[in-house]
Amino acid sequence: MSMAPPTDPSKSVAGIGPERVGVLLVNLGTPDTADTRGVRVYLKEFLSDPRVIENQGLVWKLVLNGIILRTRPSRKARDYRKIWNTEKNESPLATITRAQSEKLAADIAGDRVVVDWAMRYGNPSISSRVNALTAQGCDRLLVMPLYPQYSAATSATVCDEVFRVLASMRAQPTLRVTPPYYDDAAYVEALAVSIEAHLKGLSFQPDVIVASFHGMPKKYVEKGDPYERQCMATVEALRKRLNLEPAKLLLTFQSRFGFDEWLQPYTDKTMERLAKDGVRRVAVVTPGFAADCLETLEEIAQENAEIFQHHGGEQFSFIPCLNDSEVGMDMIRQLVLRELQGWI
């Protein structure tokens, strides 16, 4: 009995184009411009998300529109200008996320795989990039939120927006979303290699390494968000890999906002305490950020360095994020290829 030849997925069938897979890297977001107006537009979108500020009632709307959006944008715009990529006229977060996308595309893209990037807030929007990928024939979509630790305010809101975009489509692409990778061996190894390489290049040996993660209102965790637990798991895995005692690799939380109690210990208060306790040399790593941004380049490398030195610290070093480094890209590639199994 004769057998039909196997189907070649690269060939079109009955007028339908070849199947393609889209890979979309998504980061948090950035203003389009480093001025008051640009920051105001960005903050309004960000702080109007009920995943970020859960109580979007009348009081919050009055505070947001009557106080925050009138006063905060000008201050934050000054901070953005300190780190702005003036050559490309964009934030470092946009520059780095684009580079991650381009390097991943150079490694895995081809006739069947298309790689792109988006921001949850600001531009390029998730909507624009999902539509661009489907316009290129992608009937399968892998979304990678660039957050190692899951949080409803980060990972979940990326999914919310992707689902919203797909809800308007008649012909939806099949969807996959990469899981959190807070304790993934490839992620922990990439962090460890990055930290070790940075420390070798310093003129001093830090007395303490501080792992600073973006903070979160404590009540969010009490409601069931796994973020704190996953941050703790990341630090514990790093301690084991680097062979460091808990007192030598500390976990802290930064970027608190508003009047609620946030996850502790706070990074800025820890910097102050360490200096007052006689610690003279500190290095800070930010494992929860996939790319350097305002919270790392300004808040940690500048603001917290000043706090540490003001209270008696002498030497402070910020360890860059994995960004589009060789070890960082190797990790992203491993995680993406793992999730693409069965599709390519």
Strands laid side by side in the 138-145 sheet: 113-122, 20-30, 138-145, 174-177
Mind listing the pLDDT tens digit for each residue in 219-268? 999 999 999 999 999 999 999 999 999 999 999 999 998 888 999 999 99
Which parts are annotated binding residues for Fe(2+)? 214, 295
Whether 8 shows a pLDDT value over 80: the answer reads no
pLDDT computed for residue 39 by the predictor: 97
Residues facing 25 on adjacent strands: 117, 144
Q: Tell me which of 16-30, 91-105, 215-229, 266-280 is least confident.
A: 16-30
pLDDT computed for residue 66 by the predictor: 95
Whether 2 shows a pLDDT value over 60: the answer reads no
Average pLDDT over residues 34-48: 97
Give me 45's structure tokens.
């979108």
Whether 1 shows a pLDDT value over 90: the answer reads no
Instruction: Indicate the angle between helix axes 185-200 and 227-242, nearest 10 degrees.
Output: 60
What value does the mean pLDDT of the chain take?
A: 94
- In 201-260, where does DSSP find H-type helix? 218-222, 227-242
Confidence of residue 18 (pLDDT cuts 50, 70, 90): low
Which parts are annotated binding residues? 214, 295
Confidence of residue 19 (pLDDT cuts 50, 70, 90): confident
Mind listing the pLDDT tens digit for each residue in 124-165? 999 999 999 999 999 999 999 999 999 999 999 999 999 999
Average pLDDT over residues 171-181: 97
CA 31 – CA 36 distance, rounded (Å): 10
CA 312 – CA 133 distance, rounded (Å): 53
CA 173 – CA 60 distance, rounded (Å): 37
- Domains of the chain from N-terminus onward: 20-180+327-339 (3.40.50.1400), 185-319 (3.40.50.1400)
DSSP-derived secondary structure letter, 293: -
The verdict on pTM exceeding 0.85 is: yes
